Each structure stands twice: as structure tokens, then as C-alpha cells.
């Protein structure tokens, strides 16, 4: 199977390229304080990430209410407050994971197109990437609100293949969670997972990615680049 022939890469954002938990934790606790709900810790925030912002907020509220019913009014207020707070704190305390910049620079040097495929809303995804001077590396950003469906649906990867005019099996998904693996499998794309990301209590092995990476730099040990351009 290895090396895998690759003509393009699709990177997840949170937990793969950048550790965004610090900013999300601050925004989440500011939101919860305003709603008179108990605060959460990093681990609780991390457990809610991956399936999009609406899921993140609702899961946080459910966690704080310990399974009690959540009203639509409370969710609406929480959504509004969190978005306001996160917009103010975004990229303040987040950090780019070691090896990421080197990896992106090497891919650019090899003229391999890369995309960011994230469930984060586009406003926050692009602002996060731009804050760390990473947006310049990406041919496109497909966010949680870019298309009718998001990961784990294969739509973002299918759309990317059409956009780049590259066969799906030559687009490598790099992520950190089961959401990324499911999206890639449904699309028919290979998928690698980073070991340092947000995958909760589940083991990466249980998601069955093709390769588990300790650093994005390790990508180059498992692929053969086929340049279509």
C-alpha cells in the first residue's frame, strides 16, 4: 500500500494544524458565566470539538446542565454569546503545532496544492489561519458553512476533488478525529491522523486511519507526490 500516490492534501484545522482550545475555552467560559452556568475545563471543551460550532455549543450546555433539558431560547442565547466572545479571543492564545509550518513550506516548494477542510465556520477558520500567516499556503478553505453538508459527510472532499480536478484517491486527508476518518472513508480518500489532536477518550487506532503521525513532518515518509499541475 505504501507509499501512497498523492497529488493534493486536505488538512483539518483544530487539533491538526493549530491548538485552538485555549481561545475556545476562554470564550466558552465567558459565555457560561453570562448564562449563569458552571465553568468547564480544557478536557471538557476538547471533548466537544470536531462536529461543528452548533454541536460544540449545544454539547457544552448539555454538559453544564448535566443532562437536563436544554431550551431553544437558551441555545440561541448561547450561540450568540459564544460567537461574540470567540470573535474577540480568536488566535489570542492558540498555537501552531510543531512541524506544521515546515510541512506547509515543503508542500508549497513541491507545488502540491493543499486545502483546509474544517467544520469551523469560515469566518473563524480564515481569521485563525490568517492570524498565524498560514492562509497563504492554502488553495482553498472549505469550512463548516461553505457547503450544505460538512464532515463526516464526504461532500467537502468530493467538492475539493472536483475543484482541483484530481482523483479522490490521490487527495490525502490529514486530521485528528473520527470525523475526519469517516469523511475520507466515505469519499474514498486515504486518511492519516495526527496523534496529538483532539480525539477524546477514544484511541486513534479504533478509528482505523491509514497512518498515525506523531508530526505532520512524517507525511513525507509515507507518500509519493504526483504533481498534476
Catalytic residues: 12
- Cell 500516490 sits on residue: 5
| Cα 51 to Cα 120: distance, rounded to the nearest angstrom | 8
SS3 170: helix
Q: Of 177, 181, 147, which Cα lies nearest the Cα of 162?
A: 147
Q: Give the ranges where the chain is alpha helix by DSSP (H).
A: 21-34, 42-46, 53-65, 72-89, 100-109, 122-131, 155-164, 178-187, 204-207
SS3 84: helix
| Cα 52 to Cα 58: distance, rounded to the nearest angstrom | 10
Amino acid at each position: 500500500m505504501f507509499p501512497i500516490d498523492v497529488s493534493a492534501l486536505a488538512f483539518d484545522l483544530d487539533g491538526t494544524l493549530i491548538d485552538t482550545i485555549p481561545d475556545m475555552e476562554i470564550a466558552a467560559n465567558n459565555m457560561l458565566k453570562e448564562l449563569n452556568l458552571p465553568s468547564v475545563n480544557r478536557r471538557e471543551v476538547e471533548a466537544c470539538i470536531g462536529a461543528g460550532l452548533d454541536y460544540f455549543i449545544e454539547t457544552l450546555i448539555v454538559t453544564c446542565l448535566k443532562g437536563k433539558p436544554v431550551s431553544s431560547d437558551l441555545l440561541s442565547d448561547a450561540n450568540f454569546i459564544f460567537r461574540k466572545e470567540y470573535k474577540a479571543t480568536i488566535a489570542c492564545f492558540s498555537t501552531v503545532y510543531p512541524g506544521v509550518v515546515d510541512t506547509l513550506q515543503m508542500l508549497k516548494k513541491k507545488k502540491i496544492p493543499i486545502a483546509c477542510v474544517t467544520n469551523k465556520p469560515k469566518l473563524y477558520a480564515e481569521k485563525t489561519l490568517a492570524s498565524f500567516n498560514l492562509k497563504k499556503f492554502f488553495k482553498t478553505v472549505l469550512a463548516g458553512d461553505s457547503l450544505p453538508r460538512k464532515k463526516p459527510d464526504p461532500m467537502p472532499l468530493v467538492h475539493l476533488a472536483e475543484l482541483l480536478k484530481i482523483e479522490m484517491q490521490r487527495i490525502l486527508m490529514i486530521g485528528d478525529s473520527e470525523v475526519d476518518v469517516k469523511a475520507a472513508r466515505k469519499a474514498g480518500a486515504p486518511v492519516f491522523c495526527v496523534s496529538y489532536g483532539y480525539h477524546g477518550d477514544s484511541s486513534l487506532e479504533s478509528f482505523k486511519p491509514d497512518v498515525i503521525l506523531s508530526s505532520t513532518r512524517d507525511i513525507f515518509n509515507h507518500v509519493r507526490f504526483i504533481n498534476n499541475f
